[in-house]
Structures are given as structure tokens and as C-alpha cells.
Amino acid sequence: MMKGLGGYLLKRVFYMLATLWLIITITFFLMKLLPASPFTNLDKLSKTQVEILYSQYGLDKPVAVQYLIYMRGFAKGDFGVSFQFKNQPVADLLSERVGPSLQLGLQAILFGTLVGIVLGALAAMWQNTWVDALATIVAILGRSIPNFIFAVILQYVFGLRLGILPIAMWKDFSYTILPTLALSMSPMADAARFIRTEMVEVNNSDYIELARAKGMNRFEIALRHGLRNSLIPLITLLGPMAVGLMTGSLVIENIFAVPGIGEQFVKSITTSDYPTIMAVTVLYSAMLVVVILVVDLLYGIVDPRIRVAGEGDK
């Protein structure tokens, strides 16, 4: 069993590294097609000064050579220096911003998933009642309305009208509440819809009827049988949830002025800061492929048949 799991893990890690390499390569060459220059006020410099500037950052070399230099540096953990922040190493620049982004993402996915599980379970327990209808409406709104709309509404209601929560910046835990709520709407909606569907199907099973016949009440059945069996397939949603939070945080961080990676990514695009664009893309991609790897491993542990199928592809 351990040997099979080890082979499955090695295969998934290889796919992960290959995917990451493709993303880096495609992003690098697409970035070189950007029409804007990473430097400002070039019209005020002489031709010699411009050549010296491009030579200093290695932009005078052929694109293929620049790519090989970048990949060699990447293998050593060197992402280059920022064009925007006067030779500041990109790794140092992003290390200061990883914390807020990770905290925001973790809080959003934990809060959204837990609330979604509760909503979905309640909807399934009281199927076709007002509880089910209310939970379904909340789930539909959470999925259909973009999170930046929720962000603006939350800022207006809790920040401007009620004045009980800060609407921007990043100081203490209170500053994380509104952006966390805005980001958590999508995973909450997905978890609620998924848990409801799974629990309704489980509740129609023979062993649930047997549990009812034994005198177990609604809550005991939901906790011991329905919810437990419905949580296992919820692993499927981990990947899409992570993707949604990663892409959604780019906008949310700008709306709430969170000093995270998303805000830096937007700034780097507007200033054509190539090294920072590459580093943030690599970081987001690495986080995504790691999440996908974890999901694959969880599938392999929960259902060994998946490992067997994967080994059969060799």
C-alpha cells in the first residue's frame, strides 16, 4: 500500500513541476509581448543612457537568453530585482506581503466552508421548507454576485453607515473581517449547495431509514450519518475554492487596501514590473498546484481505487 501511495505521489509531483514550468515559460514570453516599457521618462534620457539602463537589467539580451538567465536564477530562488522599487529584490518585496494574503485566504476558506456546511445541512434536514428556501437563496446570491460587489456593500453598511468596522488598511484583526466576509461568500455558496445535494441523497438511503426506525432524531441522523458521509466528497471543492480565492483576492485586496500579494500584482502590471509579475505569477501558480496535489493525495487516501487507476496509466 505504501509503495503504491509513494508511486502515486511521485507521479503527481512530476505533473505539478511540469505544470509549473509550463506556466512560467508561457508567462515569461507573453510578458515580453507587452508594449509598455518598465521604465518611465525614457524620453528625457539620451540614447546612451537608455542603453546603459537596459544593459543593467539584462533587457538588451535576446529574449531566449533572458529566459535561460531567469530560469537559472529561479532554480536558485532568485526572482531578480524590482524595476519599480529601485533594485529591491523581488523575493524580499513579496515576503513582506505573503502574510496578509495567506491570512485572508485561510480565514475566508475556513469561515466560508464552515458556514456553507451548516447552511447545506440545515437545508437538507428541513428539505422543501422555508429553511431550505432561505439557505438556497443565500447560496445562489453568494455564487452569482461577484465578491467585489459584496465588498462595496460591506464597506458601506458596516463601515460608513454603522461605523463598527474599518473599511480599509491592515492593522489588527478587525481590519480583516470585512475582506474575509467578502471573499468567503463564494466558498460558502459552493459548500452549501454541495452539502445539501449530498445530504438529500444520503437521507434517502436505506441505512438512514433504519436509523429513523431505531428512534434516532433528526440531528443525530444528520451528524452521525448524513453529514459525515457528505463531507468526504467535499474534497472535490477544495481546488475550485482555492482558485476562486486566489483570483478574487486580487480585487479584494485593492478595494480594502490590504498590503498583500494581490495589490502588488496589480501595481506591477500597471508599471510593467516584469520580475514582480513573474514572481507573483509563479507564487500563485505554485500555491494552486500544491492545493491540487493535496486534493489528489486526499483522493488517493480516501479511495485507493484512484491510485490503482493512476498506476494503470503508466
Question: Alpha-carbon distance 229 to 202, whole Å?
Answer: 8
Instruction: Centre a 10 Å sphere on the Cβ of residue 122 and count the other Cβ atoms it contains.
Output: 19
Question: Alpha-carbon distance 205 to 114, whole Å?
Answer: 25
Average pLDDT of the segment spanning 234-250: 70
The letter for the amino acid at 7 is G
pLDDT exceeds cutoff 60 at 2 = no
- 89: β partners: 81
Question: Alpha-carbon distance 291 to 309, whole Å?
Answer: 21
Task: List the chain domain ranges.
Answer: 2-83+271-311, 98-254
Given the C-alpha cell 445535494, which residue does it identify? Answer: 197
Find how far residue 247's CA is from the centre of its chain: 6
pTM of the shown model: 0.73
pLDDT at 17: 87
Least confident among 98-107, 191-200, 248-257, 292-301? 292-301
67-78, pLDDT tens digit by residue? 998 899 888 888
Question: Alpha-carbon distance 12 to 14, whole Å?
Answer: 5
Question: Alpha-carbon distance 52 to 216, whole Å?
Answer: 79
Residues with Cβ within 8 Å of residue 256, at least 6 apart in sequence: 151, 155, 167, 168, 169, 170, 175, 178, 179, 182
Least confident among 155-164, 183-192, 232-241? 232-241
Q: Classify residue 135 as exposed, middle or buried by CB count within 10 Å of its CB (0-12, 13-18, 19+).
A: buried
Fold of 98-254: MetI-like fold (1.10.3720)
127-157, pLDDT tens digit by residue? 888 988 998 898 888 888 888 899 999 999 9
pLDDT at 42: 63
Which residue did the predictor score with more confidence, 205 or 285? 285
Given the C-alpha cell 465578491, which residue does it identify? Answer: 147
Q: Are 187 and 112 in contact (CB under 8 A)?
A: yes
Question: Alpha-carbon distance 237 to 196, whole Å?
Answer: 14
